[in-house]
Structure 1
Amino acid sequence: MKAIEGMIVRWCFILLIVCIGFVSGQERDSLFLNHHYNIEQHEVSPNGKFVSFKKAYEISRDTLVVIKSDKPNKEVFTMSGVNRSFFTNRNVLFAVKGREIDIISCESLKIVSIQDVLQVEYIKDKDQVLIFLERNGSKLLQILDGSGKLLTEIPDIESIQVYKSRDVFFTKYSADHYSLYLLNNLMPKLLFNSPEKVRSIYYADSKKLGFTTPSQVKGRYRLGFWDGITKDFYYLDNVYQENIYQFKAYNTINPDEIYIQGFIEKKVSTSKEADIWYTNDNSLQKKMMSLDEEQVFLLWKPKSKDVKVLKSKEDHEVAYIGHPRYYISINLYEMQDYSNYNPPLFLYRYDIQTGKMEPLGVGASRNSVSPNGNYIVSFKDTHWVLFDVINLTSQKINLPYSENVYFSKNGDCFYLEQKGGIARYNIKTSGIEFIPTLKGYDNSILVAEKEALLPKSRLYRCTVDDDVFFLKLFQEKSNSSALVKLEKRKMIVLQNPTDERISTISFNRNQMVSFVKENLSRPPSLNMVNKSKTTLVYNSNKSDTKISGLKYNRFNYHNDDGRHLSSVLIYPLDYDKSKKYPMIVNIYETQSRLGNFFLRDGYFSTAEGFNIRHYIENGYFVYLPDIVYGEEGAGIAALKCVDLALEVIAGEPAVDFKKIGLIGHSHGAYETNFVATHSDKFAAYVSGNGNSDLVSAYFSISKMFKSPYYWQFENGQYRMPKPFFEISPQYLSNSPILAANKVSAPILIWAGKKDLNISWTQSMEFYLALKRSNKTAVALFYENEGHTITDPDSAKDLFTKIAQWFDYYLKGKKSDWIVKLN
């Protein structure tokens, strides 16, 4: 290897670095120390010989581990302090550690370190690593090949940029100007000189360049365009006087034409007159958005010195969809009545040549666009609609719903994820082909190119390779998963159906797959697939031997309406069938899916403030039942499902049914509040950041979603079948606050006073109702927390107080702060 200035060469056979993770960030007397880790950021080397990953503790996620794939569980080496890592095409591992990069030969364990690193980029197609660093008071660029060998070095660099992981640009400064260079076959090619430094590149090809430079207005930038043939410069602000910022710019299919999305400043009225709210206003979100900015859509032709504002009507957004003439225009508020958070969108075809806008039809809240912009696919009510943008026509397609639509790269067909396989629709022939996988399993396509065409992703584009699909399969009833590969319509099973959760999946450039599996009693294991053969690479948390003996049961049953439900009962780790134990029930919609998550310690939680591992290690059962919803409303549905779930395990002799606690957070807290006001089966409750008064919440404005909250009740989590005034008694009967006087067990309520999702006053009002009813209750209000707890000290306080609350009422352990309640 050629010597590189500033490098330190060292030989290392095994690096033994112990990562204690979150332990170092917590006080030693905490009940919730974190010892167990997850596997994250895993990657297989191109030749398949090595696999790297990072150990992820609660706070520390910087320990890199490398395994030799043919020697499972044997760590070749570990390294702490790693921010990111990657294999090159030559199977050399580069690890970035702050201002240092280590170049690691996994075969020889030779490590070369480069210090004072500012930026690292990897160009896969060329197998080159760019290292931008400081040396003796100046900055330079080193270009290495995939083995770590120095190819060239360029001194006196101001900055570097990589466009689309392909083109490398760098800037130099000399006296009174900046020079922008393109790296061409390892040689600097001067493009142009400029008095201002180029900040970013938004478009580049062999003949032209789109770039930005700082504006005279602080924090703003100028959009520039450079013609590589004539060497002429063009700036947007020469033809468009508004100062645009937070923008995205794209070169369209037409030559020398740039489409821009961005914001401009808007004058804020200083009038002291009242802000007028009209009942026919469907754009109330605008009243809660920034008043000093306005979104704009532009079409700029630099050489023609022309800019067109693409705004056919007020509040319309205009998207470039890949067609040379036709764009799509939508108004987010046109069909908004707040019964849905994301309402259907009326789609318009916008003709940039004539400025004419013509109706295409009513689409969904999300709409998929073909690569060439000729077609849009939407799911409406019970069927799909295929819109022909060119001919302004549409046709109905009878296929089940799919979360995403995936177009082939040529745009001739699209794919839908279905139960038991994927459906392929041929646009030219209107033919439907079903490609089967495993019967009864939902299918999710894993590898696709995704692009949002508008800021809120109401128009998007997903494209896939027609020949090869990687799919993750899931069956809800059994909570089982599988991995398959479809190659030219033929299915290859990579992972047979398993009760283990497949948590993360990654692919290297040679289509080698690595994935992590885990279960309640099995810590995460790293696996890899090479040539359709799956092998185990690494078992994590080997010292966690106790968890392997964990006992748990999954139950499947039906409610009175015949709907399927599941629940998972997790036994205490020291379970003795001759003893009785208290139990905590955790509720929030479909909880049985948590029945194959590895139980980590620390502050990992299923409900905020509730770590299952802590409770099963301290002599508790934990029960995770599903809740399904009908016409009666979310509260009544939760009560029925919880009662049914308790009936299912009524024969478990080790559960002390006189010592059961119930906990929920957010919507689960609302359900906990409701159960607490209608049940006598529980000895203690914990409710965090939940609603208590459905009428008040229904007629409120969500600060998080910036809209009236009707939709959350009519078509959201609360599943109320009709608006309030049509079934007001049902809203009242599902409101816990109206039955607060019927709570029969102590309840701990908590909320963050900066919660933008559910107002903390809902918890305060429920507390006041309990106080007025002389019930046993405590409220915890965290001044600087929101819907979830982010501060470590607040987290420690909440987790500890919840544990003490359950210990007090379910085990009889005294806590001074609870004793005061009595």
Structure 2
Amino acid sequence: MWNLIKILLLLVGCIWVCGQNKLDTLPAWKVNFTKFGGTPTLSPKGKWIAINKFSGNGADTTYIAETANGKKIHKISGTANFINEHLIIGKSRDKVEIYNLNNGDKVQYANISNIYILAKSNRYALLTNNKEIAIYEAREKIGQLNNVQGFGISRENKLFIVRKNENIFEIWDLAAKNIHCIYRTVNPVRKIEASISGNKLFITELVQDHDSDQLTIVNKAENNLKVEIPKLAEISFTEIQKGKAFLINASVRSRESPSKVVDIWYGNDAFLGLDKFYFKPVLRKFWFYNPDEISAKELKLPHDLDIKSLNSKRYFLCYIPRKDFNYLTSNLSPEDLNDAAIYDRITDSLITIGSFKAMSRLNRRKVYKTIYEQIVSSPDGKKFLASTDGLKWTLFDVSGKLESVIEKEGLELPVFSGKSDNIYFESSDGLWIYNLKTKHLMQTKIAQGQITRIKSNIYKNDNRILSTSVDGPFLIEGYNLQSNITTYFLSENGKLRIVVPPTGNRINHIIFDQKFKDLYTLEENFNLPPFLQHYTMEKKGETFFENNNTDKKAAKIKQEILTFDAVGQKLNGILYYPIDFNPKQKYPMVVHIYQRQRQESNEYLSPNNDFPVGFQIRTLIERGYFVFLPDILYDDSGTGLSALECVNRGLDRVLLNPNIDSEKIGLGGHSHGGYETNFIATHSNRFTAYVSGAGNSDIIRSYYSYNNNFISPFYWQFESEQYALGKSVAEDKSLYLKNSPILNVQNVSAPILLWAGKKDENIQWDQVMEFFIGLKRYKKDVIALFYPDQSHAFFNGTPAEKDLTERIIQWWDYYLKNEKDIEWINQMKKDAD
């Protein structure tokens, strides 16, 4: 059925140019790898599906195929979106193209800075670089405005613009049946924002020569409400029960200019460094806005309290922001919420409910627990979930009364049913259901023993409070971390069925129509470039956007999953063979380390992949290397010692392969993998050479450092997250000393290449310099590459990335292939002489 599509897309999919041996051809070789990416989109009625083709410079083409039978296929420049069932609009730089899928007609526009689509009203708007906006219905221009100042867009196809007309600021509704001005003011408009429900417009006005500014709320009935707000206040609002009410917050940032002489840091500052990046208000005001009464009542509370919506028209959560925050997680929002209270708007009273701990969730890609929002409210505004111990969820009535403790640890994100009668829990052991009437928790048969994620629920985030709900049929993803297999289930009318059978392919995106009759997945695997798969009730999978045949060598890639025991657990390692593998030869091998890497085994091997950083698997296997990615997990001995054990046990297993030259093995990693490489280099003699990028060398110094990337002191990374040491330095100094590479730098026995960007705000670049200085002191073979304008990782295609890529490959070739005619490496030997 899809033969025509296959033939056409073979011409435009992932293009392969035969691998080159010379490094000066490497950038040109990499550029020729393109792949399908982004999120595929369905037309409003599902007749067409669109998917982007990405090149090294971003999306440059969109392909559109008819979903029914594949008889028609079209393409359009740039990233595209559907206007209606037969019109699609694409934008590439400042050029726009409108394409009629029924007859192939095209209309092009130039000098366009942005496009806005109003699918429900069959309209789109084009904004020029000259700040003129033209509005079209189908392809007929129905209006044009100049002097456009700004926009406010809602999720319900609303488009409002600010236009200056002489000395008057006008707000125009471009989605209305008859485009018209809905509000005029002499005050400059600082911001406009539409409510999610779409029927309210919030306008922040700068009132000149006055001590206060003004918030105007525009209603459909033109009964506008004006609220006096603090000068230069930033306005935010939270919808309550889909627009039945609103909580309005006006916050004023400190306007004091920082001292040019001294920057003062205080030991009790819970906002340390955040004032430069994070909204740290010095004044807050809150209002409860009732649209039915066309009134906004200010909530009078102590000035240091923050107020958050619990999706209730009466009760709100109050707390002192970041009180007693101790920076033990990476969150900008603190991990604990101390001395919380419920504010009763009717009685104007506060009810103390205690302190809450943040819950954790398994990060599937990084494969360790991360902290997330810790208060989840129901869609009807009657209940909320929180945790008093960070291990189990507790159910509260919205008034603050404790209803029940859900006696199970390991339950992750809760999602309420649309009727608020059940709570579904994601977990690392299948999907669980808690019945709010019977107070009974039950494990479903869905994905038992697997990581589960509900894929079609609604999330509303208010920095602290999460309101979740799912109504009607919903989709659940089950993921088996050990086998790297994914399954999708559909829950409908109390019945469960598999809609995407278990697959070892990586599913990057899944899209579906409203009735779940048709599902489309964007899939890939290590030897399969991304392709689009179609699933229906009758068919369990049919490929119709495939491009794997264009990468001639992809099918030749051989991968083997090995198992080994280390740190008391069963681990995996991914072994890639040289692409033209000859079983009669021996080959060098390069080992890449980070943490658990089993989940990377089904990523398509393009040389442009973002992971691993500075380590191109495809390039290496093309050049005749084995590549090995062992899992690394940790036990009580500490991060470095655990990594050493995992790598040693992984090496013991992989070297059972007689084609690997045990005398020519390299080890490399970036960031956390760079730290692990540094540590292993100080404790091992099994490697011929090392490459370490942006890695810590002195973990005690790093523990006591400030991380500008996460905007906080860095000790959370060691105690509760990636390093997983579980203790402070003061609690177990020897643990940190035993796992700090710099203290054994004199033991490095093989040449090591270090690299870092000098604008790295995650791992301080001078951690790399420190390791270099230590190696130099003890006359070790070391070269350090410092890139002045780069940060933690380099963007693909930049001069720095090209330089680093070539030097790393040359380093491996020099030490693992004896290709000694490389001057910049030979210079190290000359300096030694």
The normalised TM-score by structure 1 is 0.87
- Equivalence for 1:554: 561
User: AA paired with 1:369?
Assistant: S
The answer to whether residue 216 in structure 2 is matched with residue 224 in structure 1 is yes
Distance 1:579-1:235 versus aligned 2 partners, 3 A rule: same
Distance 1:33-1:183 versus aligned 2 partners, 3 A rule: closer
The answer to whether residue 376 in structure 2 is matched with residue 371 in structure 1 is no
Which residue among 129, 136, 143 is the counterpart of 2:137?
143
Tell me if structure 2 keeps the 8 A contact 1:660–1:810: yes
Distance 1:761-1:378 versus aligned 2 partners, 3 A rule: same
Matches within 5 A, 1:253-292: 258-260=247-249, 262-268=251-257, 275=264, 277-278=266-267, 281=268, 283=270, 285=272, 289=276
How far apart, CA to CA, are the structure 2 residues paired with 1:475 and 1:661?
A: 30
Which residue among 679, 694, 698 is the counterpart of 1:693?
698
Matches within 5 A, 1:328-339: 328-339=317-328
Matches within 5 A, 1:122-201: 122-124=117-119, 126-132=120-126, 139-144=133-138, 150=140, 153-156=142-145, 159=148, 161-169=152-160, 176-182=167-173, 186-188=177-179, 190-196=181-187, 200-201=192-193
Could you say what secondary structure the match of 2:550 adopts? Answer: coil
Report the Cα offset of residue 84 of structure 1: 2.9
- Equivalence for 2:20: none
Report the Cα offset of residue 138 of structure 1: 6.6
Tell me if structure 1 keeps the 8 A contact 2:587–2:625: yes
Could you say what secondary structure the match of 2:549 adopts? Answer: coil
- Equivalence for 1:312: 302
The answer to whether residue 404 in structure 2 is matched with residue 395 in structure 1 is yes
Number of residue pairs the alignment of both structures matches: 784
Matches within 5 A, 1:594-673: 594-602=600-608, 604-673=609-678
**How high is the sequence identity, in percent, across the aligned residues?**
27
The answer to whether residue 595 in structure 2 is matched with residue 586 in structure 1 is no
- Equivalence for 2:455: 446
Distance 1:311-1:751 versus aligned 2 partners, 3 A rule: farther
User: AA paired with 2:287?
Assistant: W
The answer to whether residue 825 in structure 2 is matched with residue 818 in structure 1 is yes
How far apart, CA to CA, are the structure 1 residues paired with 2:675 and 2:597?
A: 15
- Equivalence for 2:525: 519
How far apart, CA to CA, are the structure 2 residues paired with 1:560 and 1:292?
A: 43
How far apart, CA to CA, are the structure 1 residues paired with 2:563 and 2:826?
A: 41
Could you say what secondary structure the match of 2:272 adopts? Answer: helix
How far apart, CA to CA, are the structure 1 residues paired with 2:707 and 2:161?
A: 46
Tell me if structure 2 keeps the 8 A contact 1:607–1:663: no
Deviates more, 1:570-579 or 1:404-413: 404-413
The answer to whether residue 441 in structure 2 is matched with residue 436 in structure 1 is no
Report the Cα offset of residue 256 of structure 1: 8.0
- Equivalence for 2:31: 34
Could you say what secondary structure the match of 1:575 adopts? Answer: coil
The answer to whether residue 292 in structure 2 is matched with residue 294 in structure 1 is no
Which residue among 72, 81, 98 is the counterpart of 1:85?
81
User: AA paired with 1:490?
Assistant: K
Tell me if structure 1 keeps the 8 A contact 2:46–2:513: no
Distance 1:767-1:668 versus aligned 2 partners, 3 A rule: same
Report the Cα offset of residue 205 of structure 1: 8.4
Could you say what secondary structure the match of 1:763 adopts? Answer: helix
Could you say what secondary structure the match of 1:236 adopts? Answer: strand
User: AA paired with 1:621?
Assistant: F
How far apart, CA to CA, are the structure 1 residues paired with 2:592 and 2:814?
A: 18
Distance 1:370-1:232 versus aligned 2 partners, 3 A rule: closer
Tell me if structure 2 keeps the 8 A contact 1:84–1:97: no
Report the Cα offset of residue 93 of structure 1: 2.9
Tell me if structure 2 keeps the 8 A contact 1:525–1:539: yes
Matches within 5 A, 1:717-796: 717-790=722-795, 792-796=798-802
- Equivalence for 1:6: none
Q: Could you list the runs of 5+ residues in structure 1 that have no partner in the other structure?
A: 1-13
Distance 1:107-1:530 versus aligned 2 partners, 3 A rule: farther
Could you say what secondary structure the match of 1:525 adopts? Answer: strand
How far apart, CA to CA, are the structure 1 residues paired with 2:555 and 2:745?
A: 43
Distance 1:36-1:353 versus aligned 2 partners, 3 A rule: same
User: AA paired with 1:597?
Assistant: E
Report the Cα offset of residue 565 of structure 1: 0.7
Report the Cα offset of residue 760 of structure 1: 1.1
Distance 1:130-1:744 versus aligned 2 partners, 3 A rule: same
The answer to whether residue 492 in structure 2 is matched with residue 487 in structure 1 is yes
State the superposition RMSD in angstroms: 3.5
Tell me if structure 2 keeps the 8 A contact 1:34–1:600: no
User: AA paired with 2:154?
Assistant: Y
Tell me if structure 1 keeps the 8 A contact 2:587–2:660: yes
User: AA paired with 1:358?
Assistant: I
Could you say what secondary structure the match of 1:558 adopts? Answer: strand
Which residue among 551, 557, 566 is the counterpart of 1:544?
551
Q: Deviations over 1:48-83 (max 9, x none)?
A: 4432111112223121112344666x8823333x13
How far apart, CA to CA, are the structure 1 residues paired with 2:580 and 2:351?
A: 69
Tell me if structure 2 keeps the 8 A contact 1:209–1:228: no
Distance 1:738-1:682 versus aligned 2 partners, 3 A rule: same
Deviates more, 1:326-335 or 1:650-659: 326-335
- Equivalence for 2:226: 234
- Equivalence for 2:362: none
The answer to whether residue 521 in structure 2 is matched with residue 503 in structure 1 is no
Which residue among 102, 105, 121 is the counterpart of 2:100?
105
How far apart, CA to CA, are the structure 2 residues paired with 1:47 and 1:111?
A: 22
Q: Could you list the runs of 5+ residues in structure 2 that have no partner in the other structure?
A: 1-7, 18-22, 359-372
- Equivalence for 2:316: 327
Distance 1:339-1:685 versus aligned 2 partners, 3 A rule: same
Report the Cα offset of residue 394 of structure 1: 4.4
Tell me if structure 1 keeps the 8 A contact 2:456–2:474: yes
Report the Cα offset of residue 191 of structure 1: 3.1
Report the Cα offset of residue 685 of structure 1: 0.4
Which residue among 790, 808, 811 is the counterpart of 1:805?
811
How far apart, CA to CA, are the structure 1 residues paired with 2:175 and 2:274?
A: 51
Report the Cα offset of residue 585 of structure 1: 0.5
Tell me if structure 2 keeps the 8 A contact 1:288–1:706: no
How far apart, CA to CA, are the structure 2 residues paired with 1:676 and 1:510?
A: 56
Report the Cα offset of residue 531 of structure 1: 4.4
Distance 1:734-1:468 versus aligned 2 partners, 3 A rule: same
Tell me if structure 2 keeps the 8 A contact 1:749–1:763: yes
- Equivalence for 1:350: 343
Distance 1:809-1:310 versus aligned 2 partners, 3 A rule: farther
Report the Cα offset of residue 392 of structure 1: 2.5
Distance 1:56-1:349 versus aligned 2 partners, 3 A rule: same
Tell me if structure 2 keeps the 8 A contact 1:282–1:337: no
- Equivalence for 2:368: none
User: AA paired with 2:636?
Assistant: E
- Equivalence for 2:203: 211
Tell me if structure 2 keeps the 8 A contact 1:752–1:782: yes
How far apart, CA to CA, are the structure 2 residues paired with 1:674 and 1:221?
A: 58
Distance 1:99-1:774 versus aligned 2 partners, 3 A rule: closer
Which residue among 385, 395, 402 is the counterpart of 2:394?
385
Report the Cα offset of residue 658 of structure 1: 0.6
Distance 1:91-1:371 versus aligned 2 partners, 3 A rule: same
User: AA paired with 1:294?
Assistant: P
Q: Deviations over 1:111-131 (max 9, x none)?
A: 34455656543334x351223
Distance 1:20-1:644 versus aligned 2 partners, 3 A rule: closer
Distance 1:431-1:337 versus aligned 2 partners, 3 A rule: same
User: AA paired with 2:311?
Assistant: G
- Equivalence for 1:573: 579
How far apart, CA to CA, are the structure 1 residues paired with 2:203 and 2:692?
A: 52
- Equivalence for 1:202: 194
How far apart, CA to CA, are the structure 2 residues paired with 1:635 and 1:69?
A: 52
Which residue among 60, 63, 67 is the counterpart of 1:62?
60
User: AA paired with 1:425?
Assistant: Y
Q: Deviations over 1:773-816 (max 9, x none)?
A: 11111111111211112370111111111111111111111210
- Equivalence for 1:7: none
